[in-house]
Amino acid sequence: MNTFSKMIPARPGITIADAIKENNDLQKAIQESPLHSKLISNAQKLEGTIRQLGVHACAVIIAPSPITDFCPLQHPPKDNNGIVTHFSAYPLDNMGLLKMDFLGLRNLTIIDRALRIIENNHGVRIDIDNLDMEDQKVFDVFTKGDTTGVFQFESAGMRRYLQELAPNVFEDIIVMVSLYRPGPLQYIPTYIRRKHGKEKVKYPHSSLEQILKLTQGIAVYQEQIMQIVQAFA
């Protein structure tokens, strides 16, 4: 069974019908074995049905009128007080309802308390929505790697890279957040070298310079990928 199941490609969205078309070994196994043939037949009848009920921890469905105008409701598993939609995310999205994820971040509470402490102790009211994004003192803190307690900047690896980068513009901060994840992590040293002029920025094509100039010639954001496709089209 393990050998048989591995004949179906393990990629998102694959259907049994597509797997049979793509894999000659799978076709042969179904033709030669009544057991395999029966298994595939039963699997196709079950394909697409709901395997289990799950609840997205921080998702909220927003509608222009009561949700019962659009879909049935139910209690989540082992919870007689909470209410969730009976439909899953994709059908709700197709109906035009909005799903928003509201993350509970304690950092926001810390910031709020810090603002109140500053006002009580120093009589200074800081407008958190209108901060100076080019404050050199803030960049100095990041350059020292003194970012314990700063959301997404407190890991040892991130602090080491900040010290090497010595950010002096807000774009550097944004790029570091975007690059410091499993896929693009390898490009951080390249960004740092190019930032300090130790490596020349190269563009595979002149039309990419305008798109990638801000990020030292590295495609960091999804929007940049979309712009590159548009430019070449």
Per-residue pLDDT averaged across 148-153, rounded?
Answer: 89
User: Helix or strand or coil: residue 125?
Assistant: coil
Cα 60 from chain centroid? 18
Domain coordinates of the chain in residue numbers?
Answer: 2-46, 59-101, 108-134, 135-232
pTM here?
Answer: 0.60
Q: What is the pLDDT of residue 162?
A: 96
Residue 64: C-alpha distances to residues 11, 46, 72, 82, 211 (Å): 36, 35, 16, 21, 38
Dist. CA 8–CA 23, nearest whole Å: 8
pLDDT tens-digit map of 67-108? 999 999 999 888 899 999 999 888 999 999 999 998 888 888
Mean pLDDT of the chain: 92
pLDDT tens-digit map of 191-207? 999 999 999 998 989 99
